Amino acid sequence: MAKFKRIAVLTSGGDAPGMNAAIRSVTRAAIYNGLEVIGIRHGYKGLIEGYSKPLKVHTVSNIIQLGGTILKTARCMEFKTPEGRKEAYDYLKRRQIGGVVVIGGDGTFTGARVFNEEFDIPFIGIPGTIDNDIYGTDYTIGYDTALNTVISAVDKIRDTASAHNRLFFIEVMGADAGFIALRSGIACGAEAILVPEVKNQVSTLKSFLEDGFRRKKSSNIIIVAEGSEEGGAYEIAKKVKEDFQEYSVRVTVLGHIQRGGSPSVFDRVSASRLGYAAVEALLDDQKSAMVGLQNNKIALVPFRQAVKLHKELNKELLNISKVLSI
């Protein structure tokens, strides 16, 4: 039996499709095990200021298909201070909350790790970010849905690109990581993919475009991660246009459309598995760790590793993208 009777769940940082499915899973798994569940609103800010509501079985009915998060999310500078974390701890003690499930990314887990170094209430994390850049898990909640959103948009753009002999630069999210750009680029047959992890890509891109023009390629789709070292899609398009006047260059920034929408089947099932696993981890007296997916199995990863270690792009996919773009 658990040493506590009540847990809390919150979402923090950027929202991602599937967060509601995770909230639902945490709530129902906890209730199944005889625990009460408190939903913390507005992330860590809610812990400090006491924004909360009880979650029941019926409260989380009919939310598995919704994007966003019913608990809302926010970034909280106060939680980065010892005083803010002490306020959060005092709130948890007043409400007799014995464990917390946090759904988010790097920043969320960093806060949870520091809190667990200072206080005795265990935190367990669920990776929820469309960027898929969390070490220790093959997939994060929201990544698959974001990919499907991107390729749906790019498929439509390719139709008009082919009709007008246009060169389209399409910017996707990924300020520090190219996971969305790489996988979506392969899936939509992009002629080139620019990611933050690979340097000096504009010169390579120009050589590729010269070859394509000689072969009279009618159109090109270039996927650009917003964090590319050469700048975003607009900046790169400007550099390329100088040397390729023959192309009609267009830029599309997909932006926050990638965060929204009903989660895919994969994200719904993954979120359900991870929510259940997070409750099991608390019941097993685990703390300061993330539940992740490794080779389609649940894995428990210390926050220290999830935050500090860098997740690498799949080198095989990088090579495949180059080979298939000829």
Beta-sheet strand order (sheet of 6-11) = 52-55, 36-40, 6-11, 99-104, 123-127, 289-294, 297-302
Residue 320 lies inside a defined structural domain of this protein? no
Instruction: Determine the Cα–Cα distance for residues 100 and 81; give it in Å rounded to an integer.
Output: 19
Query: Any idea which residues carry the catalytic annotation?
Result: 131
Q: What is the pLDDT of residue 232?
A: 86
User: Which residue's entry shows tokens 């367990």?
Assistant: 124
Q: Tell me if residue 326 falls in helix, strand or coil.
A: coil
Look at residue 212 in the predicted model and tell me its pLDDT: 64
Mark whether 36 and 167 lie in a shared domain. Answer: no
Query: Tokens representing 32?
Result: 């199944």
Same domain, 17 and 44: yes
Give the C-alpha separation, 124 to 145, whole Å. Answer: 24
Q: Is residue 323 part of a domain?
A: no
The verdict on 255 and 276 lying in the same domain is no
Helix axes 233-241, 201-214, angle to 10 degrees: 50
Question: Which residues make Cβ contacts (< 8 Å) with residue 272, sequence separation at least 6?
Answer: 21, 22, 24, 25, 64
314 in a structural domain:
no
281 part of a folded domain: yes
DSSP 292: E
Q: To the nearest 10°, report the CA torsion of 245, 246, 252, 253.
A: -40
**Which pLDDT score, from 0 to 100, does residue 222 have?**
92
Q: What is the pLDDT of residue 218?
A: 58
Classify residue 319: in a domain, yes or no.
no
Pair 51, 116 in one domain: yes
Domain assignment present for 153? yes
Using the 3D structure, point to which of 224, 243, 259 is the last residue of a domain.
Answer: 259
* Strands 289-294 vs 297-302: parallel, antiparallel or unpaired: antiparallel
The answer to whether residue 45 sits within a structural domain is yes
Q: How many domains does the chain have?
A: 2
Residue of 86, 115, 83, 118 whose CA lies nearest to 102: 115
* The pLDDT value given to residue 215: 58
Say what the pLDDT of residue 20 is: 98
Tokens of 69: 């998060």
- Number of helices (H), then strands (E), belonging to the chain: the values are 11, 11
Give SS3 for 29: helix
CATH code for position 43 = 3.40.50.450
Torsion, Cα 110 111 116 121, to 10 degrees, reads -140
- Are 20 and 133 part of one and the same domain? yes
Q: What is the pLDDT of residue 74?
A: 86
Q: From edge to edge, which strands make up the β-sheet containing 248-253?
A: 192-194, 220-225, 166-172, 248-253
Residues 284 and 148 in one domain: no
Can you tell me the distance from the alpha carbon of 317 to that of 182, in angstroms, rounded to the nearest whole number?
7
Answer yes or no: do 199 and 284 share one domain: no
Q: Which amino acid is at 175?
A: A
168 closest CA partner among 235, 250, 232, 233: 250
- For residues 240 and 113, membership in a common domain is answered with no
CA nearest to 282, candidates 141, 127, 123, 128: 123
Is 317 inside any structural domain?
Answer: no
Containing domain of residue 115, as a range?
6-142+263-308
Identity at 286, one-letter amino acid code: Q
* Residue 137 and residue 163 in one domain: no
Could you state, in chain order, the average pLDDT of each consecutive group of 10 residues for the chain (326 residues)? 87 96 98 97 95 96 97 92 97 97 96 96 97 97 98 91 81 92 95 88 80 63 85 87 82 95 98 98 97 98 95 92 84
Q: What is the model's pLDDT at position 70?
A: 97
Neighbouring C-beta atoms of residue 119, cutoff 10 Å: 16
Which CATH number is 234's domain given? 3.40.50.460
Residues 92 and 187 placed together within one structural domain of the fold: no
Alpha helices of the chain — where are they, by DSSP H? 19-32, 43-49, 82-94, 106-118, 143-164, 179-187, 201-214, 233-241, 265-283, 303-308, 315-323
Residues 132 and 31 in one domain: yes
Same domain, 17 and 138: yes
